[in-house]
Amino acid sequence: MKRMIRRSVVGALAGGAASAALIATAGHAGLSLLLGAAIGAAFALSTGPTPGAFLDNMMTAGALGVPLWGVVSVIIAPLLSGQMPEWSAAQMREHFPVLVGWVLFGVTLGVLVQLLNDVAARLFGPEPAPEHATPEPKKRILILGGGFAGMTTAECLEKELRKDPSVSITLVSETNALLFTPMLAEVAGSSLEPSHISTPLRTTLHRTEFLRGRVISVDLENKRVTLEAGAGGNESCRSELAYDHLVFALGAVSNYLGLTNVQKLAFDFKSLIDAIRIRNHVIEMFERADRESNPEARKPLLTFVIAGGGFAGVELAGSLNDFARGILADYPNLRREDVRVVLVHARDRILPELSESLGRYAQSRMEARGVEFRLNTRLTDARPGVVVLGDGEVNAETLVWTAGTAPNPLTKSLALEKDKRGAVIVDATLAVPGHAGVWALGDCAAVVDAKSGKPCPPTAQFALREAKVLAKNIRASLQGNPARGFHFDSLGALCVVGHQTACAELAVPFARSKSMRFSGLLAWLMWRGIYLGKLPGLERKIRVLVDWTVELFFPKDIVQTIDLR
Ligand SMILES: Cc1cc2nc3c(=O)[nH]c(=O)nc-3n(C[C@H](O)[C@H](O)[C@H](O)COP(=O)(O)OP(=O)(O)OC[C@H]3O[C@@H](n4cnc5c(N)ncnc54)[C@H](O)[C@@H]3O)c2cc1C
């Protein structure tokens, strides 16, 4: 609490002083001062003091000025004065001095926050340490996986156990950041910078010890986990961790349904590196096609096949279609009709998770933008340059697989009960039956809703809620109290289909069996607003907002970040 008060005061003072730049360009002295102080307090609260971070602070807060200008001066201020926001060139010219004011405000704020933090450290000593730092943990909680389920479990455990210094929390994950998968298609489609949708686990978690490494085996009998920290199966990089409570949050992997050639030739679409590879590969195909004079040889280079008409496949198809058509201007030898984005789906309509009318709407909007659909069609095989379908072949150098997932195979070898997909069966409290202190959640677990008795879908929305209940149940178990069952009603689903168009089906509050449907630009704005709100960390939100703002004014970036030759 003392840390928060100290940071708020520092931030409000810095923001108040920096608001001079706003008063000079936007006027409204009292309002600018108040707004500046509030933004300053929020900024200082979210960043915290880091010695010598003048440049970092200055750049982060300076960048913050751009979205703040867009939201406050261009959108909210006209609305409050009864006018509609305008984006015309004349209006933008008029707004430009205020933009300079906002950026100056940000830069000054960054410098002042750092300066005042340093002064406060000299006068009052360093910030009080978090109240939970303690020696001698007695119980060890080990979380495997740093995705939505694992990271949220750790975050909630930190809160649940803040007054209990006798427990240690450790999280092990292959990657050192939480990947915000709902925005992955935008990375593949070159709208967002890859690292902007990944939140570092080390900075998000405070009390939890984070270890980057791959779990290679779990000894349930002796309560030990073996971890590999390096690459290439090097035994010297292995270490063992003991636990009292073990949480499986290892997520899912692509399931190629036994199609080995497809597995060899297709791109996965699950991780950040998958999205980066896809983006770079698309650019590579354009570069090769640009040099190719034979129109027949050019066709497969510019044909992009996506297998799977669920959320991931549809969002990727929409995003790649926008990307491919958007960069055509940089390749004068290529024509619009040369580009094909083909979505293959085994059922008669896409997005089975949404109501039929929204699924059909999504398809019609995507078709209007040039996406081809092969519905009721199975992908049966692949050869280099050829995708084999149940009813023919498509010549394509690019195939992305989103048509199936399976729970993480690591649990296969363990003597735990699993469902037919291979997910670890848990009881209503997320505990693994017959193994005291072992828990599972998220995409690697078969969770059944305690109230409805229905299986919970493998989505981030459910993984986050399961994590909250699990943290409470682990605390209850440590304290010898009864655990509670997991119940959650879905809030609905949103899907972007490309070019500022989305579909949304949201549950009606207090009447979750009913839903409200939205489509088009409004749904797209809702998608952006909701997911920006859910993206963890203020800094990441700002970075994504800046990417989106830049995207409005500039063409898609075609710089290759990986050499694929
Ligand atoms: C493209 C895409 C878009 C999506 N969009 C949405 C959406 O809009 N809304 C929604 O609700 N859901 C969405 N989902 C689903 C959502 O991402 C998953 O349901 C969610 O990530 C599940 O969380 P999890 O923690 O169980 O698994 P994950 O988030 O996959 O996390 C698993 C973690 O375990 C780590 N791991 C795996 N194996 C090992 C190992 N051997 N050793 C150490 N660490 C390991 C991984 O590195 C990862 O950090 C989307 C999924 C994809 C692929």
pLDDT tens digits, one per residue of 9-48: 888 888 888 888 888 887 888 888 888 889 888 888 877 7
Q: What does the pLDDT look like over 142-160, one tens digit per residue?
A: 999 999 999 999 999 999 9
pLDDT band at 197 (very low <50, low <70, confident <90, very high): very high
Of ligand 1's listed atoms, the one at least distance from the Cα of 495 is 8
What's the mean pLDDT in 61-79? 82
pLDDT of 68? 83
150 lines ligand 1 (CB under 6 A): yes
pLDDT of 235 > 90? The answer is: no
Distance CA(431)–CA(470), nearest Å, equals 8
- Compute the distance between CA of residue 336 and CA of residue 425 in angstroms, rounded to an integer: 50
What's the pLDDT score for residue 534? Answer: 94
| Residue having the nearest C-alpha atom to atom 27 of ligand 1 | 251
pLDDT for residue 232 is more than 70 = no
Percentage of the chain exceeding pLDDT 70: 95
Residue 530 CB less than 6 A away from ligand 1: no
Q: Is the shortest distance between the CB of 181 and ligand 1 below 6 Å?
A: yes
The yes-or-no verdict on residue 512 having pLDDT over 90 is: no
For residue 59, what is the enclosing H or E element?
helix 54-68
Decide: 68 in ligand 1 pocket, CB within 6 A. no
User: What confidence score (pLDDT) does residue 514 get?
Assistant: 80
Q: How far is the CA of 317 from the centre of ligand 1 (A)?
A: 20
Q: Does the structure show a pLDDT above 80 at 125?
A: no
pLDDT at residue 135, as a whole number: 56
> How many angstroms separate the alpha carbon of residue 312 from the centre of ligand 1?
12
What is the pLDDT at residue 309? 96
pLDDT mean over 209-217: 95
- Greater confidence, 99 or 497? 497
* Amino acid 377: pLDDT: 97
Cβ proximity of 214 and 228 under 8 Å: yes
Cβ–ligand 1 contact at 472 (below 6 Å)? no
* Ligand 1 atom closest to the CA of 253, numbered from 1: 30
CB 311 near ligand 1, within 6 Å: yes
Q: Which two tokens stand for residue 231?
A: 């690459």
Distance from residue 414's CA to the centre of ligand 1 (Å): 21
Spatial contact of 339 and 324, defined as CB atoms under 8 Å apart: yes
**Mean pLDDT in residue range 486-498:** 94
- Per-residue pLDDT, 43: 86
Average pLDDT, the chain: 91
The tens digit of pLDDT for each residue in 405-452 reads: 999 999 888 999 999 999 999 999 999 999 999 999 999 999 999 999
Give the span between the Cα atoms of 180 and 73, in whole angstroms.
29
Using the atom order of ligand 1, give the atom closest to the CA of residue 149: 25
Cβ(389) – ligand 1 distance below 6 Å = no
Task: Give the mean model confidence (pLDDT) for residues 276-301.
Answer: 96
For a mutational test of ligand 1's pocket, the pick from 151, 173, 315, i.e. the residue with the most ligand atoms closer than 8 A to its C-beta, is 173
Confidence of residue 110 (pLDDT cuts 50, 70, 90): confident
Q: How confident is the model at residue 94 (pLDDT cuts 50, 70, 90)?
A: confident
Cβ 198 under 6 angstroms from ligand 1: no
Q: Residue type for 344, please?
A: V
pLDDT bin (cut points 50, 70, 90) of residue 565 is low
Mutate to test the pocket of ligand 1, among 148, 151, 152, 181 (most ligand atoms within 8 A of CB): 181
pLDDT digits (tens, 9 = 90+) for 347-363: 999 999 899 999 999 99
Q: Is the CB of 461 under 6 A from ligand 1?
A: yes
Q: What's the CA-to-centroid distance between 451 and ligand 1, angstroms?
A: 25
d(CA 446, CA 304): 34
Taking only the tens place, the pLDDT of each residue in 374-396 is 999 999 999 999 999 999 999 99
pLDDT band for position 339 (50/70/90)?
very high
What residues contact residue 382 under an 8 Å CB cut-off, 6+ apart?
259, 261, 262, 264, 265, 266, 388, 399
Q: How much distance in Å is there from the Cα of 448 to the middle of ligand 1?
A: 19
Q: Which of 278, 443, 532 to mutate to test the pocket of ligand 1 (most atoms within 8 A of CB)?
A: 443
C-alpha 181 – ligand 1 centre gap (Å): 7
pLDDT bucket at 561, cuts 50 / 70 / 90? confident
Residues in contact with 313: Cβ distance below 8 Å, sequence separation at least 6, in sequence order: 269, 306, 307, 343, 345, 350, 400, 402, 403
Dihedral class, residue 257 (left if φ above 0, else alpha if ψ from -120 to 50, else beta): left
Q: Please work out whether the CB of residue 407 comes within 6 Å of at least one atom of ligand 1.
A: no
pLDDT of residue 188: 97
Q: Is the pLDDT of residue 134 over 70?
A: no
Q: How sure is the predictor about 564, in pLDDT bands with cuts at 50, 70 and 90?
A: low
| For the CA of 459, the nearest atom of ligand 1 | 19
Question: Three-class SS of residue 421?
Answer: coil
Give me the residues paired with residue 383 across strands: 386
- What's the CA gap between 401 and 277, in Å, rounded? 13
Q: Is the CB of 402 under 6 A from ligand 1?
A: no
C-alpha 253 – ligand 1 centre gap (Å): 9
The whole-number average pLDDT for the span 308-319 is 97
Average pLDDT over residues 100-118: 88
Mean pLDDT computed over 81-97: 76
Taking the centre of ligand 1 as the mean of its atom positions, its distance from the CA of residue 443, in whole angstroms, is: 7
Residue in 250, 402, 532 to alter for ligand 1 test, most ligand atoms within 8 A of Cβ? 250
Q: How far is the CA of 415 from the centre of ligand 1 (A)?
A: 23
- Out of 88-102, 217-231, 245-259, the most confident range is 245-259
Q: What is the mean pLDDT of residues 535-562?
A: 91
Report how far residue 242's alpha carbon sits from residue 222's, in angstroms, rounded to the nearest whole number.
8
The pLDDT of residue 268 is above 70 = yes
What's the rounded mean pLDDT across residues 249-258?
A: 96
Give the Cα separation of 90 and 433 in Å (integer): 67
